[in-house]
Amino acid sequence: MSKRDYYEVLGVARTASEDELKKAYRRCAMKHHPDRNPGDKAAEESFKECKEAYEVLSDASKRRMYDQHGHAAFEHGMGGGGGGPGYADMGDIFGDIFGNIFGGGGGSRGPRRGADVGYVMELSLEEAVGGVDKQIEVPTLDECDTCHGSGSTDGKVDTCSTCQGRGQVRFQRGIFSMQQACPHCGGRGQTIANPCGDCHGQGRVERTKTLQVKIPAGVDNGDRIRLAGEGEAGPAGAPPGDLYVEVRVREHDIFQRDGDDLHCEVPIRISQAALGDVIRVPTLGGEVELRIPAETQTGKLFRLRDKGVKSVRSRKPGDLYCRVAVETPVNLTAEQRELLEKFEATFAGDDARRHSPRSSTFIDGVKGFWDRMTS
């Protein structure tokens, strides 16, 4: 039976980059892997097919030959020794691609770096906008001071009897041979003869670290700050991981943030809305004047340019949007009530509708609704 085109097998264009090939191979191999499709012969054949295609196309010289001669390039010895594509050791081909499935590190040797650590930091809006220095305490695994991370009291180590010092073990899964870090020595290839009494041979102890974190101006919810080397200490003296500080901004009493813009609600009196006025509104840089034109309706939005936030990614600040809310007066005195009653009396008759545009529109809508209901 004729073989399918390798590019077709992986579902990529003939101009695909190395990274595109690797991603396509990952998808194909994960989908058809025999461990995910037990007893499925078709999936097993598809798995072999995508493995063979990737082995050829990921090798620059083999890919050139394939592009020139197709499958014939690997028949009758044209492709050199090795028994043709698709029959290499699984551990050599997959590397890090299936490490997450089988728990191993592919072909990597030695202990891995320490784990990364996450920390959530709550900030006020003012702190997030202006930047701040914060001191935090982070519980983590830190290097043991007694053995300096080696895990050994006297520095003596033995060759691991499980992996014979290689740091890797190989095992069989059906027709596939897999390789992973030695579970006995953790990939170090050595075991400790006299473990440290403080860390029990781990080279790490639980400790709370106090760190100073500089928060740049303009951060927002979800932004992360990376502190290199401040994560967990690596086993047996391996490099430490990183600390990622995630920002959470608390709700503000006045402002709501939307990217680089700020929003706030500004209450005004009926007289201010009807006659117009100049009021003062708060911004992050202090109060500014806002001109309210006569006959302003509740919900009217006013934009104050450059009074928003200048984020860590922006060259200029956003805007402040002020939405006015016309308040109904409360706790009226007898004189105020009398004045309002006289004022209300001036709206009697049909002339009142021209003073209340929204009310007129609503009344007309109601009449039209009832006419349709009764017709």
Q: What is the DSSP string of 335-349?
A: HHHHHHHHHHHTT-S
pLDDT, residue 199, reads 85
Tell me whether residue 264 is annotated as binding: no
Q: Is 147 annotated as a binding residue?
A: yes
The answer on pLDDT for 204 being more than 90 is no
**What's the pLDDT at 256?**
96
Question: What is the chain's mean pLDDT, rounded?
Answer: 81
Comparing CA positions, the residue from 93, 82, 57, 60 lying closest to residue 178 is 93
Taking residues 296-325, report their average pLDDT: 93
Q: How far apart are CA 39 and CA 43, in angstroms?
A: 9
Instruction: Flag whether pLDDT at 313 surpasses 90.
Output: no
Domains, the chain:
6-88 (1.10.287.110), 117-249 (2.10.230.10), 256-328 (2.60.260.20)
Give the C-alpha separation, 272 to 350, whole Å. Answer: 25
What is the C-alpha to C-alpha distance for residues 362 and 344, in angstroms, rounded to an integer? 19
pLDDT of residue 190: 76
Would you state the pLDDT for residue 272? Answer: 95
Residues 263-310: pLDDT tens digits? 999 999 999 999 999 999 999 989 999 999 999 999 999 999 999 999
Q: What would the pLDDT profile of 51-88 be if each residue is shown by its tens digit? A: 898 988 988 888 888 887 777 766 644 444 333 443 33
Q: What does the buried/exposed string (b/e) look like for 94-114 if buried means 16 or more CB atoms within 10 Å of the residue's CB?
A: beeebbeebebbbbbebbebb
Model confidence at 35: pLDDT above 70: yes
Q: What is the pLDDT of residue 227?
A: 94
Res. 234 pLDDT band, cuts 50 70 90: confident
Please tell me the predicted confidence (pLDDT) of residue 360.
Answer: 56
Task: Report, as an integer, the average pLDDT of 220-239.
Answer: 87
Tell me, what's the pLDDT at 83? Answer: 39
pLDDT at residue 358, as a whole number: 65
Q: pTM of the predicted model, to two decimals?
A: 0.57
Most confident of the ranges 119-133, 334-348, 353-367: 119-133
Considering only the C-alpha atoms of the chain, give the largest distance between any 2 of them, rounded to a whole number of Å: 109
The answer to the question of whether 50 is labelled as a binding residue is no
Say yes or no to pLDDT of 97 above 50.
no
Asked whether residue 160 is marked as a ligand-binding residue, the answer is yes
